[in-house]
Amino acid sequence: MSLPVYQGRFGTAQAERLLWRAGFGPRPGEAQKLARKGLKRAVLSLTRPKGKAKLRGPTPRDDDGLPLAPADAWGHDLLWWLDRMVRSDQPLVERMALSWHDWFATADVGQAQLNLDQNQLFRRRALGSFADLLADVTVDPAMLIWLSGNENTAEGPNENYAREMMELFTLGAGNGYTETDVREQARALTGWTNDWDEDLGSVNFRFDQELHDTGTKRIFGKSGNYDWRDSCRLCLEHPAHAGYFVTKLWSYFIPKPPSKKTLRDLKKLYKRRKYAIRPVVEAILLHPELHTGPRMVKPPIVQIAGMLRGRKSGITTDAWTWIADDAGQRLFRPPNVSGWDETRWLDTARLGGRWTAAGQSTDLDSADDDDYDAKETPKQALEAALRFWGKPTVSDRTRRELLQFCSRVEKVATEEWQQQSYRALRQNALRILIASSPDYMTA
């Protein structure tokens, strides 16, 4: 087994891509600092953080300047997590939590605290063992409610989780299992239940042996008196699992599928390391395809978090909840159990949300025409707009288009009173155009 490692230049542009793929983009100067580490040390600094995550920056507030109430107030769950994406010094852990949120997509279960608790589970297991993650998710209260695991009994087996565990979580649709396996897995998963409290809702989630089907089940051609732990184990041991896991995990970092050789070697690594997530992530982040392959569309919430990081801004408004929804990614509200469809990130129904997000950030610190430089050149205007976002890398083509826009503005500023006013308006427009450009929406 010999997984390739990128050997080319690792400068600011390459570090910037790494920070976007394995996090939420750089703060000002962060890409340059990471580039000085070299590729391997840069990757390990992301995959092997020390100690507990620290949140650096202003404490998040709502529109009224009050602290967030993620378990109680509308939209504050998203604001709470967006704040972590912006302020955490362990961005890859947060990015992996986002990936697991999509992988094990769970929407509103009627108790926001249960979704928040599941989110902490994703963070805790972010780079550990997929076997542990799968086992924990299987009996997680939010998941038990979402896919009816708490209503799955020997007397009335419910197939919801059994089906999705194989189709979406471990094997892939129709990949090596039958309808009989679905039914038998449902029997193995029986026994979990909970109580209902009029004030608190669903509480006291537990395994009740009397609700469990103790009979022999036949799953993937094997027979045994299986329970929920065996159900997870049998999926992990299935010949289709390693390939499904590697391919899906790869897709969160690289848009082009791995080659047959890379897939084979990553599968071997995953199985040799007994379902460990971190070694596979490290191999992907070091792989030449991540650094030389095509650009990748940023998920909407990743771009929004990155804009705030680039601005060194914090959460000061509830607006990010509906803006993220307009852009196509409302955290804690995936569209269905399959998660989000990344092929629609930039469709006409969702692109406007990114424009709104850029405008929201610009409105918070708009250029004022009262004292704006009336002699600012197109080049100076563009450099100022790039500094506004933390100096992101843009292509020569994008730079030329933006400079031409700057020149067109000057041509129509024929009156003396327009010199300041139009240049201030130009600056605000440039900021939005940069954040809405193909260069900024991809990495």
pLDDT in tens, 238-264: 999 999 999 999 999 999 999 999 999
pLDDT class for 424, splitting at 50, 70, 90? very high
| Residue spans per domain, the chain | 77-292, 300-441
User: pLDDT band for position 415 (50/70/90)?
Assistant: very high
Predicted pLDDT of residue 104: 98
pLDDT on residue 438:
95
Q: What's the token pair of residue 314?
A: 């914090």
Rounded to an integer, the average pLDDT of 397-422 is 95
**For 230-240, what is the mean pLDDT?**
98
- Has residue 368 got a pLDDT over 90? no
Residue from 37, 16, 20, 169 nearest 92 by CA: 20
Which two tokens mark 238? Answer: 């299935």
Q: Residue 11's CB: how many other CB atoms inside 10 A?
A: 13
HSE-CB at 364 with a 13 A cutoff on CA atoms is 19
- H helices then E strands: how many in the chain? 22, 4
pLDDT at 57 over 80: yes
Residues facing residue 88 across a β-bridge: 55
Average pLDDT over residues 309-324: 96
DSSP-based three-state secondary structure for 307: helix
CB contact at 8 A, 78 and 330? yes
Residue % of the chain over a pLDDT of 70 = 100
**Residue 59 has what pLDDT?**
96
User: What would the pLDDT profile of 65-107 be if each residue is shown by its tens digit?
Assistant: 999 999 999 999 999 999 999 999 999 999 999 999 999 999 9
Residue 138's pLDDT is 98
pLDDT tens by residue, 60-75: 999 999 999 999 999 9
Instruction: Encode 113-135: b = buried (16+ Cβ within 10 Å), e = exposed.
Output: bbbbebbebbbebbbebbbebbb
Dihedral of CA 345/347/348/351: which sign? Answer: positive
pLDDT at residue 407, as a whole number: 97
Residue 2 predicted with pLDDT over 90? no
Is the distance from CB of 309 to CB of 302 less than 8 angstroms?
no
Decide if pLDDT at 320 tops 80: yes
Residue 24 DSSP symbol: S
Mean pLDDT of the chain: 96
Tokens at 317, concatenated: 């408004």
Structure tokens at 90: 């362990």
Q: Is the pLDDT of residue 1 over 70?
A: no
- The pair of structure tokens assigned to 260 is 């047959």
Which pLDDT band holds residue 122 (cuts at 50, 70, 90)?
A: very high
CA-CA-CA-CA dihedral for 420, 426, 429, 434, to nearest 10: -130
Angle 294-437-285 from CA coordinates, rounded to 5°: 35
Digit-coded pLDDT (tens) for 158-191: 999 999 999 999 999 999 999 999 999 999 999 9
pLDDT score of 6 more than 90? yes
Please determine, for residue 291, whether its predicted confidence score (pLDDT) is greater than 70. Answer: yes
Mean pLDDT to the nearest integer, 383-388? 96
What is the rounded distance in angstroms from the CA atom of residue 345 to the CA atom of residue 343? 6
Sign of CA dihedral 218, 224, 226, 230: negative
The answer to whether residue 350 scores a pLDDT higher than 80 is: yes
User: 29 pLDDT exceeds 70?
Assistant: yes
Token readout for 406 is: 């700057």
Over 70: is that where the pLDDT of 364 sits? no
